Amino acid sequence: MRESRRDKDRLSHILSAIRVIEEGLTKYHKEELLNNPLMYYGLVKQIEIIGEAANMLTQEFRDSHTEVEWRPIVNMRHVLVHDYIHISKEMLWDTLIHDIPEFKPWIAIRSKKNCSRISL
């Protein structure tokens, strides 16, 4: 059983991964990030971390925050890890520039609070 007190740690892991992604996006151009295997797979790894941390959040936390679509976040991680041969660079890029920035403010607020008592 997952402990709710660890939810804050998981949210912190998500926020750290988002910050690494943002740093890469500010320092490098799209072509550099997507065509350099080390940079590309570094970004993939950060999205994997986000998905794994989301998966490790308690069910109670996820159930109390239905405004976030947790299943697609976790599923993205599964695709990146288990079905990596089908990763599309454009799908990855879309996640990086649309989904991650949209998700960040929500995570940033909650990673600083006691997650078991958060409400919107």
16-50 pLDDT, tens per residue?
A: 999 999 999 999 999 999 999 999 999 999 999 99
Residues 6+ apart with CB under 8 A from 47: 17, 21, 76, 77, 80, 92, 95, 96, 100
- The pLDDT of residue 2 is 61
**Is 13 an annotated catalytic residue?**
no
Q: Does residue 119 belong to any structural domain of this protein?
A: no
* Token couple for 79: 């695709």
Q: Does residue 85 belong to any structural domain of this protein?
A: yes
Quote the domain boundaries for residue 99: 4-112
Checking if the pLDDT of 120 tops 80, the result is no
Residue 14: name the closest of 76, 63, 60, 64 by CA: 76
Q: Does residue 68 belong to any structural domain of this protein?
A: yes
- The pLDDT of residue 84 is 85
Q: Does residue 94 belong to any structural domain of this protein?
A: yes
**Is 86 an annotated catalytic residue?**
no
Q: Does residue 118 belong to any structural domain of this protein?
A: no
Count of the separate structural domains present in the chain: 1
Q: Does residue 84 belong to any structural domain of this protein?
A: yes
Active-site annotation holder among 82, 86, 98, 110: 82
Q: Is 45 exposed, middle or buried (0-12, 13-18, 19+ CB in 10 A)?
A: middle
82-110 pLDDT, tens per residue?
A: 998 888 999 999 999 999 999 999 999 98
State how far the Cα of 97 lies from the Cα of 14, in Å rounded to an integer: 16
Note the pTM of the prediction, 2 decimals: 0.88
Q: Does residue 120 belong to any structural domain of this protein?
A: no
- The pLDDT of residue 118 is 40
